[in-house]
């Protein structure tokens, strides 16, 4: 089987810097830019103003079940959602929202199968990641009445799924031996998504011909 013409976006680092406004000696509240962490388990060092300040800022998460923050400002994503993080120094305070993106969610934008010679079909597949940073892999299956489904594509290597990724794959699938001219190379596609820093996966099944159902054998 061939995997050709693959384009994949690269993952981005989750480092953020928060900058305060106003004079270093001015008391009161400082507005900060929001920050984003791309996956549960990501960390980022948060800062306010100049590193030459006479005394350090003390950090605290107001939503510790979503984002944990050390007293020195190291934030760690614990769960998807939005958390308010506060920094204090004397009578001054600074707050911002730190967003943890939802799990990797690779979806099929379009898929098409076209004959390519007497023994193969070309599948053109366009995918998008609607969640946070992670990985994905592909399987294609052929079903026959009275027989167990046959896996005709097993893209075992996980591929990075960056935030906002849109990628196109072209895959050549073998047509069934001894089948008729209308025999299909594959009947359904399975896209597995796995968030970065985690082991659990989710599966999305797409019927390639608008009929039938996904039947993945146990242990496949």
Tally of domains within the chain: 2
* Residue 47 resides in a domain: yes
Question: Tens digit of pLDDT for each residue in 89-138?
Answer: 888 888 989 999 999 999 999 999 999 988 899 999 999 999 999 999 99
* Residue 20 resides in a domain: no
Question: Tens digit of pLDDT for each residue in 2-12?
Answer: 444 333 333 33
Same domain (yes/no): 192, 118 = yes
* Residue 39 resides in a domain: yes
Domain region containing 40: 28-100
Place of tokens 């943890």: 100
Instruction: Identify each DSSP E strand in 78-165 by its residue range.
Output: 81-89, 92-100, 106-115, 120-129, 134-142, 150-161
Q: What is the CATH number of the domain that holds 96?
A: 2.60.40.1080
Question: Tens digit of pLDDT for each residue in 172-220?
Answer: 999 887 656 667 899 999 999 999 999 999 999 999 987 778 877 666 6
Q: What is the CATH number of the domain that holds 196?
A: 2.60.40.150
Same domain (yes/no): 73, 89 = yes
Question: Tens digit of pLDDT for each residue in 57-68?
Answer: 889 999 999 999
* Residue 66 resides in a domain: yes
């Amino acid at each position: 089987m061939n995997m050709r013409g693959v384009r994949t976006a690269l993952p981005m680092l989750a480092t953020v810097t928060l900058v305060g406004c106003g004079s270093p000696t001015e008391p009161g509240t400082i507005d900060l830019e929001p920050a984003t962490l791309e996956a549960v388990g990501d960390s980022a060092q948060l800062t306010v103003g100049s590193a030459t300040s006479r005394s350090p800022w003390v950090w605290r998460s107001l939503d510790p079940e979503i984002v944990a923050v050390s007293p020195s400002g190291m934030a760690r994503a614990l769960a998807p959602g939005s958390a308010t993080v506060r920094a204090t120094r004397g009578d001054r305070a600074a707050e911002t929202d730190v967003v943890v993106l939802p799990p990797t969610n690779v979806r099929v934008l379009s898929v098409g199968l076209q004959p390519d010679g007497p023994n193969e079909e070309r599948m053109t597949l366009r995918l998008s990641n609607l969640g946070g940073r992670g990985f994905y892999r592909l399987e294609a299956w052929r079903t026959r009445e009275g027989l167990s489904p046959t896996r005709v594509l097993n893209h075992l290597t996980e591929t990075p799924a960056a935030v906002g990724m849109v990628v196109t794959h072209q895959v050549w699938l073998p047509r069934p031996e001894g089948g008729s001219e209308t025999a299909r190379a594959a009947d359904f596609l399975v896209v597995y998504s796995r968030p970065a820093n985690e082991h659990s996966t989710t599966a999305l099944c797409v019927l390639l011909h608008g009929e039938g159902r996904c039947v993945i054998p146990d242990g496949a």
